[in-house]
């Protein structure tokens, strides 16, 4: 299987309930009116969702596994979230359980710092904890980072030098892996450099056109 899959680890019971979303669903804004919404994640996408749903929900709780948001979220979004009165940021916190009959009714929040659990009422939870690359099937000579994302183009260079075993008399093109096999070009969801880039699709298109003209 190609591409990546959403991470669900740490959000126990979530896939079985209505009201649980992986990513943001702006169409749910009206349903969140006057409700408590929980956002799981600490990157920019989670911050954007928190700010958006704060315009509709009575309260938005942003749960973050790490001890701080400074390293994972832009200062602009972080300041906006902190300035929004109905956004509550809970660091060192994970969602360990989702409960409800046909629709989500409450969540269990675990505070990593104190070791305590708290059950909170919530109608919706939006999960932004990234995706895991499905690259286990690739040959071992295709270099990947510690998270499993494929290294390509400039990411292959070590101190400006070509990767070990690189046979071509040039630097790797943007979409080339450590083994320049014809037809093997990793999609942006699998590549390390572009996994967090909003402009990755445009970069991929330019790279494909560049590659075709050089052939």
Q: Is 161 helix (H, G, I), strand (E, B) or coil?
A: strand
Domain boundary residue among 131, 155, 174?
131
Residue 172: domain span: 135-215
Q: Which helix (H) or strand (E) holds 127?
A: strand 124-127
Residues 119, 141: one domain?
no
**pLDDT tens column, 116-138:** 999 999 999 999 886 667 777 78
Segment 92-112, tens digit of pLDDT: 999 999 888 889 999 999 999
pLDDT band for position 191 (50/70/90)? low
Three-class SS state of 32: helix
| 143 alpha carbon, distance to own chain's centre | 22
Cβ pair 125, 103 in contact under 8 A? no
Token code pair at residue 118? 């708290």
Q: Give the chain's domain count.
A: 2
Domain identity same for 31 and 109: yes
Token pair listed for 105 = 């009714």
Shared domain check, 160 and 70: no
If asked whether residues 59 and 100 sit together in one domain, one would say yes
Q: Contact, 134 vs 1, CB < 8 A?
A: yes
CATH number of the domain that residue 35 is part of: 3.50.50.60
pTM > 0.85: no
pLDDT at 17 over 50: yes
**Region of 34 on the Ramachandran plot (φ > 0 left; ψ -120 to 50 alpha; else beta):** left
Task: Report the candidate in 59, 66, 56 with the shortest Cα–Cα distance to residue 130.
Answer: 66
Q: What is the average pLDDT value for the chain, to the nearest integer?
A: 79
Quote helix, strand, coil % in the chain, to nearest 5: 25, 25, 50
**119 and 146 together in one domain:** no
């Amino acid at each position: 299987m190609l591409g990546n899959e959403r991470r669900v680890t740490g959000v126990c019971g979530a896939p079985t309930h209505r009201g649980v979303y992986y990513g943001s669903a702006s169409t749910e804004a009206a349903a969140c009116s006057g409700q408590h919404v929980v956002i799981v994640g600490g990157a920019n996408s989670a911050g954007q969702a928190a700010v958006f749903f704060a315009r509709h929900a009575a309260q938005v709780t942003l749960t973050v596994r790490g001890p701080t948001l400074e390293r994972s979220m832009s200062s602009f979004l972080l300041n906006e979230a902190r300035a929004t009165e109905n956004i509550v940021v809970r660091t060192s916190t994970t969602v360990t359980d989702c409960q409800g009959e046909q629709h989500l009714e409450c969540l269990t929040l675990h505070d990593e710092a104190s070791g305590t659990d708290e059950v909170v009422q919530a109608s919706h939870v939006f999960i932004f904890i990234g995706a895991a690359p499905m690259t286990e099937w690739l040959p071992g000579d295709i270099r990947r980072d510690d998270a499993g994302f494929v290294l390509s183009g400039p990411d292959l260079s070590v101190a400006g030098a070509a990767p070990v075993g690189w046979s071509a008399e040039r630097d790797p093109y943007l979409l080339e892996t450590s083994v320049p096999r014809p037809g093997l070009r990793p999609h942006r969801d699998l590549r390390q450099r572009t996994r967090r880039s909003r402009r990755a699709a445009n970069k991929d298109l330019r790279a494909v056109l560049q590659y075709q003209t050089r052939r």
